[in-house]
Structure 1
């Protein structure tokens, strides 16, 4: 209770909700871009979705566990968002051709010798989008990868501020 008699909101519940909503927003945006805007994701784009799925689970866990244990899941959520930032930096570097993609699916298959039939048999069953081919939305000079990275940074900053407040209030 504060001096005014109102109860302060529980920061662990706020951060758990932030994690769930941030993950749903990120995956919802990716779904919209893929299924409504018909943008094909590359392999690194698919990698970037994984931390958001984990973050949703961490957010649900944070909301479900007793408050004294929730601080640990909050820290795990921050690590998860940091991984998302790292993947966005990795992908942006590939888009800007600073380094090659670590995903073998992002590279064109190399074929040495043989017939046309052998070459066709070595092709993947479904064509992949090159990871160094960025998608730009609405005429912005920032790729979807970079926008996703900026979003992850914003979620990380909000989560970090809440975590600092959480740990200060617990003494």
Structure 2
């Protein structure tokens, strides 16, 4: 396959994962803070892909691979938090307390919905959304590396 095809597959994969995240959100699975963290590198990979389609050289695909690896690493970290392998940020886990909530928020009948990073909201074949994100993101890293190594346009 050509460099252009590898870039389209890799950036398109990030676009598909990002679209999936927004679809799950629309279906009633609101994201936690760490879910949002995983979205930013996908957005960066999409932008890198658009620029890399125009400009030659291995630098942009390497940056795309770095973006995909970053979201994959965050996905692994998030999975570990969900499975109690390690502690997550106190701001979005059960240990977080009530920081950021006002007295009015606590007394409101329909107060803010707190989404905890250490709770699995959806899973398929025992893998949660962050786990699937990590798995597919690391596959995308391979696509980006193939683009970086390819000399054919």
Tell me if both proteins adopt one fold, taking TM over 0.5 as the criterion: yes
Please say if residues 10 and 143 of structure 2, whose CA atoms lie closer than 8 Å, have aligned partners that are also in contact.
Answer: no
1:109 aligned residue (81, 86, 97): 97
Conservation of the 8 A alpha-carbon contact between 2:31 and 2:115: yes
Q: Which has the higher contact order (CA 8 A, sep 6+)?
A: 2
Picking from 37, 41, 61, the partner of 2:51 is: 61
| Alignment correspondent of 2:137 | 152
Unaligned runs of 5+ in 1: 1-8, 112-117
DSSP-derived class of the 2:127 partner: coil
CA shift, 1:100, in A, is 2.0
Could you tell me how far apart the structure 1 residues matched to 2:37 and 2:15 are?
A: 16
1:19-57, Cα deviation, whole Å (9 max, x unpaired): 331121011100111102x11111101111110000000
Hey, which of these two has a bigger chunk of helix by percent? 1
Considering only CA atoms, is the larger Rg found in Structure 1 or Structure 2?
1
Write the distance in 1 (CA, Å) between the matches of 2:118 and 2:92.
12
- Residue of structure 2 aligned with 1:31, choices 18, 22, 25: 22
Consecutive unaligned residues of structure 2, counting only runs of 5 or more, are none
Aligned residues: 146
